[in-house]
Amino acid sequence: MIDVLIAGAGPAGSIAATVLARAGARVLVLDRARFPRPKLCGDTLNPGALAVLQRLGLGCAAGASIPLAGMIVTGDDGVRVVGKYEGVSGRAISRSDFDAALMMAAAGAGARIEQGVLVQGPIVDASGDQPTVTGLKITGRQGKSLKIPARMVIAADGRYSRVARALGLSRAAPWPRRWAIGAYFENVTGLTQFGEMHVRRTHYMGVAALGKGITNACVVTPNLGGRHPGDILVTTLTRDAQLRERFADARMLTAPICLGPLAVDATAAGARGLLLAGDAAGFVDPITGDGLRFAIRGAELAAREALDALEHGCGGAHVRLLASRRREFAAKWRFNRTMRWIVTYPAVVRAAEYGVSMIPRLLQEAIRYAGDVHAA
């Protein structure tokens, strides 16, 4: 029998698989996509995320990337703050390349990877004193419905996890509701080794240079208004007072991807026989740019609990994982919620701009905290 069955081969699923396979567990990873595949993301790894990768011996996954020296944050009224990471750096790398490299590392560690397989939901045994997840129901390559049993299951199948939602463990956050639209561009000017966050009173925009003349640009907005996502993306960038000249000759290289509503709340870290990892365990607003560190470190925590469960039984693994996630992430969750609240209200954004203009050091420290520099 499979020791650990993992839904999702993104960063969380692949890192969990790598940790488990290195420890000798029999691991099968399933993903509906075929890698490399496009993925909407800011395409940056902060210093804390990079430090976890290096500690796990997976720094090579970010090898074909460019250094990220910090973040530049601007506001509507001309506020511009440069926050340097100082002594450490992040990386800018496309998620397509990064995710494929992590998946190959998992396969190299001994995990079995099956692509093009749709996970329908969990198999639940309700015969005991507590319902227990005992495997996954899938749709195979020929469209056949199959059941795959396993001693433990990790759901790392994204924000709309079929596994977590089937068990009532996650839901879209009721507030605030925002959508992200992103694409790759060429001929963007004024790029540096800093990531960029441009906060406006009704939306915010992220810009990151990936090298070879390619730039990632995203817009996060509370309302699509029935318009085509590509039109919203291009119009927002080219009409912004601080970005219009830089995007005047830019050309979109890829079709825009739209994602939302963004925030996902998880009510638990799993169930008996099941652990959650990555966005399936909760998706934070991308304003702070620390989502990948949550995914990477959270996957490591889930893998450690799965190994313990294989040895001692799965009874309380999800409860222990929840406790470890709270110890690890509680402060950053509060920080993220605060930033999410600030960018929701135009009046609060305006007040924050005024405060930053008076004391820019406050935002510089926030940039370092968001970048998990302390963890690096």
pLDDT at 285 over 90: no
Tell me 283's DSSP state: B
Output the pLDDT for position 188. Answer: 98
Q: What is the pLDDT of residues 19-31, one digit of tens each?
A: 999 999 999 999 9
% residues pLDDT > 70 (the chain): 100
Query: For residue 289, what pLDDT band results from cuts at 50, 70 and 90?
Result: confident
- CA torsion 62→159→285→98, rounded to 10°? 10
Q: How many CB atoms lie within 10 A of CB 249?
A: 11
Task: Say whether both 108 and 149 belong to one domain.
Answer: yes
pLDDT at 93 over 90: yes
Task: Say whether both 247 and 272 belong to one domain.
Answer: no
The model's pTM: 0.94
Output the pLDDT for position 128. Answer: 75
Task: Say whether both 292 and 228 belong to one domain.
Answer: no
User: Chain-centre distance of CA 194, in angstroms?
Assistant: 20
Q: What is the pLDDT of residues 159-217, one digit of tens each?
A: 899 999 999 998 887 777 899 999 999 999 999 999 999 999 999 999 999 999 999 99
Task: Say whether both 272 and 295 belong to one domain.
Answer: yes
Task: Say whether both 103 and 251 belong to one domain.
Answer: no
Q: What is the pLDDT of residues 333-353, one digit of tens each?
A: 999 889 988 888 888 888 888
Average pLDDT over residues 43-57: 95
Task: Please state, rounded to an integer, the average pLDDT across all residues of the chain.
Answer: 93
Task: Say whether both 218 and 319 belong to one domain.
Answer: no
The domain boundary, picked from 202, 224, 259, lies at 259
Terminal CA-CA length for the chain:
38
Output the pLDDT for position 143. Answer: 79
Q: The domain spanning residue 204 has which CATH number?
A: 3.30.9.100
Q: The domain spanning residue 104 has which CATH number?
A: 3.50.50.60
pLDDT at 226 over 80: yes
The domain boundary, picked from 259, 281, 299, lies at 259
Task: Say whether both 275 and 152 belong to one domain.
Answer: yes
Query: For residue 137, what pLDDT band results from cuts at 50, 70 and 90?
Result: very high
Output the pLDDT for position 96. Answer: 94
Average pLDDT over residues 22-41: 95
Average pLDDT over residues 309-314: 88
Range of the domain at 219: 179-259
Number of domains in the chain: 2
User: Chain-centre distance of CA 46, in angstroms?
Assistant: 12
Nearest alpha carbon to residue 280 among 2, 10, 4, 5: 10
